[in-house]
């Protein structure tokens, strides 16, 4: 009896512990097996870098000459990145920036071009400054900003005056200043008169065909000359042709009025201001004029800050075309100065192929301002230039030169 009761209790105890043992076995079975550590596989070796592309100024110029302006701009940009790291290459870097700006303009990206050329126009290399100012003048002219184009053209002339030798670019600037003033004067009339335009004026390139050493000499010529006049404008007599009075000018951000006062004292030229506000008289001028006549220096200094200098004997009368008392006075002023600008161009450049255009422009100005006899003399004076014909819309006339 006792033996049977003990056996029964043993069986009950065994059945009650069975789930716990199964759960323990299940937990042991579900425990993750210990993972064998994985060995990291090294990445494949990097491919060797391609060799640097051959690059030189000649290659960039070749792309520019072939009118592949995108490729030229890319190459000039790489050259600029190299040269900009060396302060001694400042003039060369400005040259590359100028070339990039011109490529942008030739590619139709005018706003980008204008911004870059505007910064380059402050270069301390006179030839780079002149080239940038001329291109800005072209952009202003094409945009119809005639007075701004004239001012930039004179700024380019002022920069070129620091160079020892003359450059054809100066003649191009004089031509552009005359064209811009002519178009501004003719715009006042109801009859629109198109003066035929030479295509040569857009192709000026003072850097074309230069070898490396010649380019460096050109870029560095005349640098830092204006720093001599940090205390104020300097005007002194210079050696000129026999019997001709010539002067040298150095001015570094000096006020125009002070520069003209010193020029007046040295050259005996009387300066008179007409409708020019005090603020306009104080516009800053930076120029190094190696040698020039008092009239030329006054013309360029005033023109570069947007003013007009009219000459009557020993007197220079300075005008602000934006501040004329009346529209009729402004129209007469621009007409008279446009004719005078062409006269100076014809005298200074007797062998220039654009002489016919100058005579035609003067004749057109005279006719529009009712000076028929002077217009006829100019039209007849164009004979022999082979200039072809020009039509004046609205007047039904066609003028021929044989």
Domain extents in the chain:
225-310
| pLDDT number for residue 57 | 85
| pLDDT number for residue 188 | 83
Strands of the sheet with 270-274, listed across from one edge: 270-274, 315-319, 308-312
Cα dihedral value 162, 167, 171, 177, nearest 10 = -40
Tokens 């139709």 correspond to what residue?
Answer: 108
Q: Which CA distances in Å does 126 have to 25, 32, 104, 233, 251?
A: 95, 81, 22, 18, 14
Q: What's the mean pLDDT in 38-46?
A: 60
pLDDT band (50, 70, 90) for residue 5: very low
pLDDT band (50, 70, 90) for residue 321: very high
Instruction: Find out whether 319 and 308 touch, Cβ atoms under 8 Å.
Output: yes
| pLDDT number for residue 202 | 60
Angle formed at CA 151 by CA 297 and CA 288, multiple of 5 degrees? 35
Q: What's the mean pLDDT in 177-188?
A: 91
Q: What's the mean pLDDT in 151-167?
A: 92
| pLDDT number for residue 45 | 59
Instruction: Find out whether 386 and 357 touch, Cβ atoms under 8 Å.
Output: no
User: pLDDT, tens digit, for every residue of 12-38?
Assistant: 444 455 454 444 444 444 445 555 555
How far apart are alpha carbons 233 and 298 in whole angstroms? 13
User: pLDDT, tens digit, for every residue of 263-289?
Assistant: 999 999 999 999 999 999 999 999 999
* Strand 397-400 to 315-319 pairing: unpaired
How far apart are alpha carbons 226 and 230 in whole angstroms? 8
**From 45-59, 288-302, 329-343, the region with the lowest mean pLDDT:** 45-59
- Residue 8 scores a pLDDT above 90: no
User: pLDDT, tens digit, for every residue of 121-146?
Assistant: 999 999 999 999 999 999 999 999 99
How far apart are alpha carbons 28 and 78 in whole angstroms? 69
Q: How many helices (H) and strands (E) does the chain have?
A: 16, 8
- CATH 3.55.50 given to domain 225-310: yes
Helix (H) or strand (E) holding 187: none
């Amino acid at each position: 009896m006792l033996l049977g009761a003990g056996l029964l209790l043993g069986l009950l105890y065994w059945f009650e512990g069975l789930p716990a043992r199964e759960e323990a076995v299940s937990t042991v079975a579900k425990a993750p097996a210990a993972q064998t550590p994985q060995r990291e596989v090294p990445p494949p070796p990097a491919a060797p870098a391609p060799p640097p592309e051959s690059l030189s100024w000649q290659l960039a110029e070749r792309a520019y000459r072939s009118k592949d302006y995108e490729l030229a701009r890319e190459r000039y940009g790489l050259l600029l990145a190299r040269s900009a790291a060396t302060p001694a290459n400042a003039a060369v870097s400005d040259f590359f920036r100028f070339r990039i700006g011109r490529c942008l303009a030739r590619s139709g990206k005018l706003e980008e071009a204008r911004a870059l050329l505007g910064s380059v126009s402050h270069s301390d290399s006179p030839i780079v400054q002149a080239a940038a100012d001329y291109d800005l003048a072209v952009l202003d002219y094409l945009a119809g900003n005639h007075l701004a184009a004239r001012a930039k053209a004179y700024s380019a002339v002022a920069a070129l005056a620091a160079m020892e030798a003359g450059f054809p670019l100066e003649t191009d600037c004089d031509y552009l200043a005359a064209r811009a003033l002519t178009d501004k004067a003719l715009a006042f009339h109801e009859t629109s008169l198109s003066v035929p335009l030479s295509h040569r004026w857009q192709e000026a390139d003072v850097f074309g065909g230069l070898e490396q050493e010649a380019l460096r000499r050109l870029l560095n010529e005349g640098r830092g000359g204006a720093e001599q006049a940090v205390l104020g404008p300097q005007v002194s007599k210079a050696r000129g042709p026999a019997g001709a009075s010539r002067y040298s000018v150095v001015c570094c951000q000096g006020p125009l009025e002070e520069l003209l006062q010193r020029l007046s004292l040295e050259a005996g030229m009387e300066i008179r201001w007409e409708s020019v506000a005090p603020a306009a008289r104080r516009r800053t001028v930076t120029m190094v004029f190696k040698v020039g006549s008092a009239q030329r220096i006054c013309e360029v200094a005033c023109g570069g800050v947007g003013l007009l200098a009219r000459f009557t004997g020993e007197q220079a009368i300075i005008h602000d075309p934006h501040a004329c008392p009346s529209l009729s006075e402004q129209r007469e002023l621009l007409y008279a100065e446009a004719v005078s600008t062409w006269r100076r161009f014809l005298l200074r450049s007797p062998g220039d192929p654009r002489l016919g255009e100058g005579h035609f422009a003067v004749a057109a100005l005279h006719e529009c301002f009712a000076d028929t006899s002077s217009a006829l003399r100019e039209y007849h004076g164009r004979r022999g230039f082979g200039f072809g014909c020009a039509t004046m819309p609205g007047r039904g006339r066609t003028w021929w030169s044989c």
